[in-house]
A and B are shown apart, each in its own frame.
Chain A
């Protein structure tokens, strides 16, 4: 975070956009890092002057100062002095009081008296007098963790945080909702889930974050808490934060995403982490199967009363917009079980499967909350889950099939069944039952009879298989054997490498 006077934002076209910097600023960043490394053992004042010299050369002094402010925090400044300054001052002021200093001669005299009493030379006294003021402290160590690129990243994060000081409300989406919610609670903030229906895909759920007093006024009181929240949010991989900014009375919107800001030194987690071995184990086994369902981890925030529940997984149906949530309820404390059951009872209306450790004996209680329960011992059996998913699938296929006409007349001369199925957003099974008045079914392909005639005309007995394959491929189908059969040829194989066409 920077001080607000160092904030750089663009309000072009009514927007409110922090002026993030990129690699083009690397030379400036490097230069400032050098200023600090080169000034070890120098007073703070000298560092400030060197930074000011750079400010004068740059068109944007706030940028220079902002970068320097970040480096300043990486530096150690200490009082380096022959005598403890506070004690020295006491002696000097007492001596001055006795002398009654007005002229420079009287001043010298007071220093001599004080030095005598402290049994040191006057130079040591003069040097120590205000050696503890910030500007006189020395830069004793500068162990920068940052190279120029890190400094730029740190700057962009700090700049976005500073912009949030004036925020009255933020809305966040994140691929790590669990961390988001726990950060919100840790910071003493409150949240609501905003659920927006999407034209395609699952509903989009945004976490709207405010502070308690927001109910009564648009207050900037929670700005620093939002800035801290950003740091947690930015540590995840995919996120977006929208903030309402009170820009001196004008409301503006600030949007920051993972494209703008990362947390330096924090590598985005490539491998998902799991709460328990049971979940990790299930994810690994499920993903190895080739099913019509895609597994997603910690997919969403579901509202339960005024709280949220974050299911462990969701299964997204590949051939349509349908999502089933999946929660693994392991063996844990009675309080945990009660809390979970409470959540299941009040959670919003979604499809939810719960795998429940048999020893808990709460399977019936779960079914009573209108969710599917799958009991397990030791580990969750993938087959049990797949069985439930198949039931959904049957329903989905039926529902989808109902929307597909009995006779299909695709416009293309040649089309693969799979492509046609995708056009209708159904699985191939649905398509296969239909009739195709304009096409002949050739293997996994649909081909117009006229195309088949053309192909037939271009083929002749004795043609090599490779040539025939090329002719057929030119017209679209990749399944040469099926096409040959359809137009009355077969291949007489010669050795292992090739063959020629003969009449069937």
Chain B
């Protein structure tokens, strides 16, 4: 009696050749598949199924993972709290999530986990910049070729780093390739589509990393099933002073020029008129969505949306913001500065005006790598970036950040950014400038038209 397990496009095909075998339907996650006349389960149930079969002492022909141990070693000395986090994960049968604040060195812990597990590993990350960063770390740490999926490359190796998008697209094909999957910023896995990555991969060992495990949408419940429970939790306070830098926020409000103001009022007026006439209250986000929906077949709604967009762009691109930025750049000639904005076009306008190296989602992989490298080593002391350098990216040693935002609503991003700033060697505090447009504008237009 033999139970055969085969990986098939993100699922396990399970067959037994004798009726005396354990009933397959009773195995975790297994269902009968009339299409192939076999039993089948999502690949994530590989480990639990093996566990049950082992307990039943069943004869198993397992062709799912080809277990070739990897010789990996890490030279990092773990700090005590990092060691404790790693041990907690290992004790949890190598399944679980570590919750650590930004700057606590979760990459270091993950590298140690990979070295300790000694299995082919896939690291899944949310952004191109994290992809770059992980690739660099893995290449430095391990003496094996590092594969990469995303940012224009699709190369698979025993240790591979991938974006969530690439991993989603290829999960059913690569699901039998890795024994360990590391999900960086694991809260992304809560998204319906991305869950497939964890569902369709057979990897028994799973490690999640995040700064915020609990989510209002309860997605962490799904993550618990797919990756494992939270096995370690560390608050920002636990690290204060020691590893994170203090910083200062300076908020600068700018007014539109008279010409910009006139153009803005015009555009904003068009928008407000439509909204009033159409009786949309904007009491919730869904009202805006409704407007977007309407614009599909109502030219007036579309005109209103375009006007709103024009108004927002005027606000973003306010000439006075550029003047303020010129003053900041002038004042901080000896500092290391990162300029951020959410808008790609503005990034390029600032790059052309101040001749700052730019990083956006349009920037190719090699140029992006080179620009960050040159900033790190000091060839460049300033760069301008779209918010692509968002989550968890290790932005090396900038002590001044400038955020150009529309109306100052990107508070959360600003806070995260503050944490990655470093004080100067001479002990001077890091500074974060926030350039926002004065917020009175919209209300004024609304009042005048009443």
Binding site for B on A (CB under 8 A): 8, 59-62, 86, 89, 92-97, 100-103, 107, 110-111, 129-130, 133-134, 188, 190-192, 210-213, 215-216, 219-221, 305-306
Contact = CB atoms under 8 A, between A and B. Distances in A.
Contact of B11 (A103, A134, A191, A213): A213
A487 to B, nearest CB: 69
B177 to A, nearest CB: 16
A472 to B, nearest CB: 65
A86 to B, nearest CB: 6
B296 A103 contact: no
B362 interface: yes
Given A86-B367, A102-B354, A306-B35, A212 B380 contact: no
3 smallest beta-carbon distances between A and B, as pairs? A96-B355, A102-B330, A102-B329
Interface string B337-367: 0000000000010011111110000100001
B297 A60 contact: yes
Contacts of A102: 326-327, 329-330, 333, 354
A306 B329 contact: no
A343 to B, nearest CB: 15
Contacts of A129: 352
B33 interface: yes
A96 B352 CA distance: 11
Interface in B21-64: 29, 31, 33-37, 40-42
A97 B11 contact: no
A59 B299 contact: yes
17 contacts: A59-B299, A60-B296, A60-B297, A93-B356, A93-B357, A96-B354, A100-B333, A130-B351, A130-B352, A210-B35, A211-B172, A212-B8, A212-B9, A213-B200, A216-B11, A216-B41, A219-B196
Nearest to A191: B35
A213 B348 contact: no
**Which bucket holds chain B's interface residue count?**
35 or more
A262 to B, nearest CB: 26
Interface in B56-96: none
Contacts of A59: 297, 299
A97 B379 contact: yes
Nearest to A114: B355
A107 B353 contact: yes
B303 to A, nearest CB: 8
Contacts of A92: 355
A325 to B, nearest CB: 23
A305 B35 CA distance: 9
A191 B352 CA distance: 55
Name B's interface SS: mixed
Nearest to A188: B9
Contacts of B296: 8, 60, 62
A94 B11 contact: no
A97 B42 contact: no
A221 B31 CA distance: 19
Contacts of A190: 35-36
A216 B31 contact: yes
Contact of B380 (A93, A188, A192): A93
B302 interface: yes
Contact of A103 (B330, B352, B356, B381): B330
Nearest to B169: A224
B392 interface: no
A95 B355 CA distance: 9
B150 interface: no
B229 interface: no
B10 interface: yes
B172 A61 contact: no
Contacts of B333: 100, 102
A192 B367 contact: no
A95 B356 CA distance: 10
A101 B403 CA distance: 19
Nearest to A96: B355
Contacts of B356: 93, 96, 101
Contacts of A97: 379-382
Given A97-B379, A111-B355, A130-B351, 19 more contacts: A59-B297, A92-B355, A101-B329, A103-B330, A129-B352, A130-B352, A133-B348, A188-B9, A212-B10, A212-B40, A213-B11, A213-B196, A215-B11, A215-B31, A215-B40, A216-B29, A216-B41, A220-B193, A221-B193
Contacts of B379: 94, 97
B362 A215 contact: no
Given A97-B379, A97-B381, A100-B333, A211 B9 contact: yes
B144 to A, nearest CB: 29
Given A213-B10, A215-B11, A306 B354 contact: no
A92 B326 CA distance: 18
A216 B380 contact: no
Contact of A107 (B172, B199, B330, B355): B355
B179 to A, nearest CB: 21
Contacts of B362: 133-134
Nearest to B35: A190
B355 A213 contact: no
B311 to A, nearest CB: 18
B6 to A, nearest CB: 12
B54 to A, nearest CB: 24
Interface string B298-325: 0100100000000000000000000000
Contacts of A215: 11, 31, 33, 35, 40
B167 to A, nearest CB: 13
B32 to A, nearest CB: 9
A21 to B, nearest CB: 14
Nearest to B380: A97
Contact of A306 (B9, B36, B353, B380): B36
Interface in B347-404: 348, 351-357, 362, 367, 379-382
A231 to B, nearest CB: 19
B351 to A, nearest CB: 8
A107 B351 CA distance: 11
Contacts of A86: 367
A130 B296 CA distance: 34
Contacts of A306: 34-37
Contacts of B382: 97
A220 B37 CA distance: 23
Contacts of B355: 92-93, 95-96, 101, 107, 110-111
Interface string B95-136: 000000000000000000000000000000000000000000
Contacts of A95: 355
A206 B163 CA distance: 38
A86 B371 CA distance: 11
A192 B326 contact: no
